[in-house]
Amino acid sequence: MSNKKLFGLYLHVPYCKAKCRYCDFYSAPGARGVPQAYVDALLRELAKNTRRPDTVYFGGGTPALLSPAQVEMLLRACDPLPGAEITLEANPDVVTQETLNGFRAAGVTRISFGVQSADDTQLRRLGRTHTAAGASAALAMAQKAGFAEICGDIMLALSYYSNAEFDATLALLKNGGCTHISAYLLKIEPGTAFAKYPPDGLPTPDEAADFYLYAVRRLEQEGYRQYEISNFARPGHEGRHNLLYWNCCDYLGLGPAAHSCLDALRSYWPGDVQGFIAGTVQPQPEGDCTAEDFLLMQLRLRTGLNLPQYAARGGQLTAAQRAFMRQCVAHGYAVWQDDTFALTPEGLVVQNAILEELI
């Protein structure tokens, strides 16, 4: 059993009460909870794992549809290391004081709520099934359950958006005890309800960029330091599991549409929940984790790309790339810090364009 390298486990729980209009994640109807047959399938696959994880992440879907007993069963099978970060995603309207107490007792250390907005009209437009008052109540219950790590999501640049809506949502999360906030721009993904019926009142790309930069400033003012393009935390409360992804460490994903990267080899499970339960589908190879992947991931982080580490993975910058990077610095899109090239918030706004030039 190897504990020499950081290792994370991701358990995908695809069940949802309802499909949000912007969501393109793999999901399945789950108003009555998570079938025990699905939990048994996860247990079957966990039994094949020989490494103890530093982090465990229950993602979805809506993992809070699991019962506390099911979470306890799965965590026992995960056998995390002492002090491991154990995260569970939740929708505010599917938790109760009893279930939150149960999740905490089962070993969950970090609860993450998809709040998105403090405006009820906006929530209905998004297809969310909770209200702002319900989100506030869920955060209060999480604090009462003893969670020291509480996370909240904010969506930016929504229909008819304003800085005032962002401020109200930030206040709701801050007052609810959030130590970590994810703030990200709405993206209309193919195959979603929003792709078929685009919402009215969406901001222009320039307006969306202004909302993003406003959010970065306000979050910093309230003590949430940006450490990744969409993630902000009080110092010491950064998400350890997602940092494994961005630092190209090892992680094993289980469940339909879950991805893994082990020893620099990527794989994924087909999006087939019934096939996963039956054991008739298996992970498919997805290619190597390359130096280019490392560059892409590291430039999501405010700490940036360390060139000696990039070189150790086989990466080599051309003269044209270095010249372009110097231009980014000159225009305020990036900074050099010793041997590290890091994007500023203004650079993160146009990250895709920068990466297209660099790759």
pLDDT at 249 over 90: yes
Which CATH architecture best describes the domain 7-244? Alpha-Beta Barrel (3.20)
Torsions phi, psi of 16, nearest 5? -140, 150
How crowded is the C-beta side of 118, counted as CA atoms within 13 Å? 19
Neighbours of 292 (CB within 10 A): 16
SS3 6: coil
| Average pLDDT, integer, range 240-267 | 97
Pairs from 212-217 (Cβ < 8 Å, separation ≥ 24): 212/156, 212/157, 212/183, 212/185, 212/345, 212/349, 213/345, 213/346, 213/349, 214/163, 214/166, 215/154, 215/156, 215/166, 215/170, 215/183, 216/183, 216/345
| Beta-bridge mates of residue 228 | 231, 301
How distant, in Å, are the alpha carbons of 45, 244, 272, 333, 338 from that of 283? 11, 20, 11, 39, 41
| Average pLDDT, integer, range 151-162 | 96
Instruction: Tell me the angle at which helices 205-221 and 163-175 cross, rounded to the nearest 10 degrees.
Output: 30
What are the residue boundaries of the structural domains of the chain, listed by start?
7-244, 304-359
How would you classify the pairing of strands 28-29 and 334-337? unpaired
Distance, in Å, from the CA atom of 163 to the CA atom of 167, rounded to the nearest integer, reads 6
pLDDT at 4 over 70: no
The region that residue 157 occupies, defined by phi over 0 for left and psi between -120 and 50 for alpha, beta otherwise, is left
pTM of the model: 0.94
Per-residue confidence band for 31, with pLDDT thresholds at 50, 70 and 90: low
Distance, in Å, from the CA atom of 268 to the CA atom of 284, rounded to the nearest integer, reads 5
Q: In angstroms, how far is CA 223 from the centroid of its own chain?
A: 20
Of 17-21, 108-112, 132-136, 161-165, minimum mean pLDDT range: 17-21
18 Cβ contact list (under 8 Å, min separation 6): 127, 129
Amino acid sitting at position 312 = A
Amino acid sitting at position 162 = S
| Beta-bridge mates of residue 116 | 154
| Beta-bridge mates of residue 28 | 15
Structure-token match 């879950």, residue found? 258
How distant, in Å, are the alpha carbons of 53, 165, 167, 179, 198 from that of 172? 33, 11, 9, 12, 28
| Average pLDDT, integer, range 219-235 | 98
> In the chain, what percentage of residues exceed pLDDT 70?
97
Beta strands in the chain (DSSP E): 7-13, 15-16, 28-29, 55-60, 85-90, 110-116, 149-156, 180-185, 225-228, 231-233, 250-254, 259-262, 265-268, 284-288, 305-306, 334-337, 340-343
Q: Are 42 and 66 in contact (CB under 8 A)?
A: no
Task: Tell me how long the chain is.
Answer: 359
Per-residue confidence band for 359, with pLDDT thresholds at 50, 70 and 90: confident
Question: pLDDT digits over 320-352, tens only?
Answer: 999 999 999 999 999 999 999 999 999 999 999
DSSP annotation of 51: S
